[in-house]
Structure 1
C-alpha cells in the first residue's frame, strides 16, 4: 500500500479568481500584510500497488485523465509506502 499525495496548482500566468477574492477579503478583515494568495487542490489517495513505480504510474494516469487540466494546471506527486 502507498499513500499518494497529488498537489494541483494553476500554472504561472493563469488567473486565480478564488485567490484574488480571498486576498481582497483578508484585506477587508484588516490583514493588510497579505501580498498574494494562491489556491491549490490536494488529493490524498491510498493505492494498493505492488511497487512505488506502479503507484507513480497510476497517479500520473489519474492526473492526466481526471485530476488536472494540462492547459492550466501543474501538479506534483509524492508517494510514501504505508
Structure 2
C-alpha cells in the first residue's frame, strides 16, 4: 500500500520560498500569479493492508517526524 503526504505551511506563516517563486515567475512573464505557497510531498510504501489503519499510522508519523505541526499542516492520502 502506498501513502502520499502533502505538507504545506499553515495559513499566515511567512513563506519566503513561495514568495521567491512568485517573484521569479513574474520575471519570466507570468504576471498573473499573485501568490505561491511552496510545500513538499512524501510518498511511503507501507506493509499495511487496511487503508484506515495505514492512514492513522501515517498521521502518527507526521505528528512525530514528517511535519512540524507548529507551522505546517499535512494531508494524508492512501493511493
Q: List runs of 5+ in structure 1 lacking aligned partners.
A: none
In 2: Cα distance, 1:52 partner to 1:32 partner = 42
Q: Which residue of 2 aligns with 1:56?
A: 55
Q: Which residue of 2 aligns with 1:7?
A: 6
Counterpart check, 1:40 vs 2:28: no
Q: List runs of 5+ in structure 2 lacking aligned partners.
A: none
Give CA-to-partner distance per residue, 1:7-42, whole Å, 9 cap, x none.
001100000000001111111111111111111111
Q: Which runs of 4+ in 1 moved over 4 A?
A: none
How many residues align? The count is 79
TM-score, with length taken from structure 1:
0.89
Q: Which residue of 2 aligns with 1:31?
A: 30
In 1: Cα distance, 2:36 partner to 2:56 partner = 31
